[in-house]
Amino acid sequence: MDTCDELSSLLRGRVLAPGEEGFDRAGRPWNLAVEQSVAAVVEAADADDVAALVRHAHRAGLAVAAQPTGHGASGAAEGAVLLRTGALDEVGIDVRRQVARVGAGVSWGRVQEAAAEHGLTGLPGSSPVVGVAGYTLGGGLSWFGRRHGWAADGVTALEVVGAEGERARVTAGSDPDLFWALRGGGGDFAVVTALEFDLHPAPGLYGGRLVWPADRAERVLGAYTEVTSNAPEELTVWLNLQHVPGLEPTVSVDVTFLGGGEGAEKLLRPFEVAGTPLRGSLGVLPLTALGSITAEPTDPSPNLARAALLTDLGWEGVRALLAEPIAPLLGVQVRHLGGALAGASDTPFGPLDEPYYLYAMGVPLTPEVGEGVRARQDALVEALGSHVSGRRPLTALAPGDSAADAFSPSVLERLRRIKRERDPRGVVRSNYPVLG
């Protein structure tokens, strides 16, 4: 009996073998530029299925790579059994404790829908279709991180399947090492089937996007440095330089403010120097509309991305960003960090001291275009020079990077020790394995 036949006899969920109808779609990563050749795809029916799969993998010498949505795929799942957890989709809100419990297949959009009914919010990123589990295991940089810190710091418990197939509930008190490693160290230590995390009161949300022609970029960037240098923790502003083929290049800002519009409008007044926007608007938003601000694609697509943390963004940094057209990149984004993200954090990455996050993205329509995208990304980072810190959060890594690019040597050694102790056979495999 081959692997897929054995798994089909053990599991209630669907098992797909290479060449079988539906296999390619089920095993596809979110980033279509990533090649992911896996031995089988398992769509688990529940946490018991996950445990049975891991027990079998432990006995058979297989590896299991859990990817709820495929975001963050790096190619490291090569030869593994790919685990999809979309059926683990329960969402529970404890209003009194202000805590959510969600299954490993839940997306941030669903959490926001459930929490918003009670005037609460999680700590989601820019896209509602990103899965809570992978995002949080990698740390989780949220729109509201400046106010509330890393998403991982808010995790209070995780339900996991260990490398021998044993199920456990992990808290700071029950298993401090594993709890620490999973809250921002990635999914290399156990398969997570559910998470519990804090929610936060959100009495009001104001935000949106404003877009100007690219010839106003210097004025917008100047206003951006002014606004972000004095911003309260409730205000988050991201800046975008965009050049979509066939359209005029633009510069824009994306905004969220946890509070009333009157306070936000005063804080954003420096952007008036850029003149009347081409389009866009700011206003009161429901907590469920965060995804509308950046309007990122909600279907898989190919992309090449590079991220960096910036130590500052003065006029020297502004000039570096504007020195050359961003093409063939589609976009360059600068996110303002700081606030609570720079405070105490018991995550493997620790406090995020750098105040800005740079993200440069292009689409490799052809191999030649892909080479051009990489060259432009390299040139941009080189132009920023000493403004680039050299550190990157785990979720900012790209195919070809390793966990060593995210963590300090001492933290990486602790993560490796935990991996060797908990999973000496390498049954559980994350997007960025800590052992390389």
Report pLDDT digits (tens) over 415-436.
999 999 999 999 999 999 999 8
pLDDT at 316: 87
Percent of residues, the chain, with pLDDT higher than 70: 100
Low-confidence ranges of the chain (pLDDT < 50): none
pTM to 2 decimal places = 0.96
Collect all residues with Cβ–Cβ distance below 8 Å to 117 and sequence separation of at least 6.
93
Report pLDDT digits (tens) over 93-136.
999 999 999 999 999 999 999 999 999 999 999 999 999 999 99
For the chain, list the domains and their CATH numbers: 91-201 (3.30.465.10), 206-396 (3.40.462.20)
pLDDT at 1: 54
